[in-house]
Chains A and B, each alone.
Chain A
Amino acid sequence: MSTQEGIRPAPVPLVLGGARGGPRVRTLRRDSWKRSPLITQGYLLLFVVYATWAAFQNSNYYVGASSHRDLISPFYSPCIGASCVPGSHGSFLLHWWTYSPALVILIIPLGFRVTCYYYRKAYYRSFWHSPQACGVADGHKKYTGETRFPLIIQNIHRYFFVLGVLLNIMLTIDAVMAFRMPGAGGIGVSVGTIVLCANAVLLWFYSVSCHACRHLCGGHVNEFSKHPVRHGLWKIITPLNAKHMQLAWVSLSFVALTDLYVRLVASGIITDPKIF
């Protein structure tokens, strides 16, 4: 046989698929690949349960002048509902909202974290099982990734990033306010102050290390040498971005711990020790 003149021989066969080799098993891995997604799952569930409980409390989120402090839980700041405790430096923006303000505020960090590229990985693996671990069959019949509704919405992440930054500004103000010691010498530092400051700093690190931030600040530029400022920003963000996962977990844990701390102090279980 011979191919005729003009007919292009196809050295690269156009079949993309075909019979596969190897045994038909879910995975050949023998290490403990189930562990990591289980830990992620457990930890995320723990956070969600705590956050939901805390958000519905609608109390004990503010330590005010009566205790010579000005500490607000990050879950409830800025306090924007009708039910806000007086003094909890919120604007009463949503007068008609009488439920817990946390239920409104938490939409922002929730949206920010749900659409975060890192958390996407975490829950796609641990909850969706697509895939549960590398080299383990995902077991779904059909897979369309983030090309369809609802997952296509993930693309709004950068807007949540912007909202997240606004929220960080609020929390930073809260942290600064936490230095006030009403009725007890004006200004000072207590453990609560440090907790709120650390919380704000960690949240800033988390936001700054965000992929959308990296893109908007400099990643979209093609010729870095012509845009030194953007390149400089990108250079600062890039190493932080590489630690985004760690920052995501640390900041998440710390937000919950901050809320817990304020809650414990507000409910009088512990007192907030003043350092100086």
Chain B
Amino acid sequence: MADVVMRIWRGDSEGGEFQDFPTQVSEGEVVLDVVHRIQAEDAPDLACRWNCKAGKCGSCSAEINGLPHLMCMTRMDTLPTEEPVVIAPMKTFPIIRDLVTDVSFNYEMARRLPPFAPKDPGPDGTYRMQQIDVERGQEFRKCIECFMCQDICHVIRDHEENKEHYAGPRLFIRYMELESHPLDTNDRRELLREEMGLGYCNITKCCTEVCPEHIKITDNAIIPLKERVVDASYDPVAWLGRKILRRTKKTATEAANHRTDPKPVKASQ
């Protein structure tokens, strides 16, 4: 049992302040356990999100000592206890109350994403893909939508005005997943350049540093996307290649409107 002071942000859109909760920590506890105990004993109205308590749902994101972490996966014994443990809400998103923020920015950016547009399945109504074809995308699908990468990204963390035209690292991995999907028929490169703000990212890698799923967001998604955008927009040789091979690329508007209706799976039996 160790004594520690938890310094937790209390407040809403009107303002707020840190409140200190002295508490005792027992073996193996994570930050979320301590927050729960404070809820149950001292402050039942202390707002925080959580669901799984196992690092699987991405609900409990908060900034612990200045950097975003999942509260349920941060063990107390990894934090220095001589000084108070400072817990603040994610900074980039509007505050709702205490540790809870309004993360609708991320849902809106997900809504703006042109969805998966598959080609037609094989004759038996199913698709064939090799493990090597799906592995690249599977890394991105590990994302638990904790939005900590969005939170730490300075493009919107420090520049509110960029939110209108910036999808953010969480969505960039989703774009990369679809752009490299063996079955997808859309081409979102111009859209990424013109409207989703891929060029705003300066690959400083904070997103990769905070990702609890250890997704290599910058190396495996953002930079490959930037290279694909170079193919589409900046590389004269690629342009020439397209002309010669009579390939086309989709404009941002075409990409945004492109849909293929997935064929209904025909009933077996």
| Chain A residues at the B interface, C-beta cutoff of 8 Å | 12-23, 27-31, 117, 120-121, 124-125, 130-131, 134-135, 137-140, 142-147, 151-152, 155-158, 211-212, 214-216, 219-220, 222-225, 231, 241-242
Closest residue of chain B to A151, judged by CB? B202
Contacts of A155 in B (CB 8 A): 226, 229-230, 233-235
Check if B114 is an interface residue, CB within 8 A of chain A.
no
Provided the pairs A29-B67, A211-B223 are in contact, do residues A22 and B89 lie with their beta carbons within 8 angstroms? yes
Closest residue of chain A to B152, judged by CB? A134
Provided the pairs A13-B104, A22-B9, A22-B63 are in contact, do residues A220 and B93 lie with their beta carbons within 8 angstroms? no
| Chain B residues at the A interface, C-beta cutoff of 8 Å | 9, 11-14, 16-18, 63, 65-68, 83, 86, 88-89, 91-95, 98, 101-102, 104-105, 107-108, 111, 129-130, 132-133, 136, 152, 154-155, 157-160, 162-164, 179-182, 184, 197, 199-206, 209-210, 216, 219, 223-224, 226-231, 233-235
Cα distance, A143 to B161, chains bound together (Å): 9
Asked if residues B86 and A28 are in contact (CB atoms below 8 Å), the reply is yes
Contacts of A145 in B (CB 8 A): 155, 197, 199-202
The smallest beta-carbon distance between B207 and chain A, in angstroms, is: 9
Asked if residues A120 and B203 are in contact (CB atoms below 8 Å), the reply is yes
Closest residue of chain B to A224, judged by CB? B132
Closest residue of chain B to A241, judged by CB? B219
Asked if residues B105 and A222 are in contact (CB atoms below 8 Å), the reply is no
Cα distance, A16 to B92, chains bound together (Å): 10
Asked if residues A158 and B108 are in contact (CB atoms below 8 Å), the reply is no
Identify B159's interface contact among A120, A142, A146, CB under 8 A.
A142
Cα distance, A30 to B162, chains bound together (Å): 28
Identify B133's interface contact among A21, A124, A224, CB under 8 A.
A224
Asked if residues B219 and A211 are in contact (CB atoms below 8 Å), the reply is yes
Contacts of A220 in B (CB 8 A): 227-228, 231
Asked if residues A12 and B108 are in contact (CB atoms below 8 Å), the reply is yes
Could you list 11 further interchain pairs (A-B, Cβ under 8 angstroms) beyond the known A130-B154, A241-B219? Answer: A19-B13, A21-B88, A22-B89, A138-B158, A139-B158, A140-B158, A145-B201, A211-B223, A211-B224, A224-B132, A225-B129
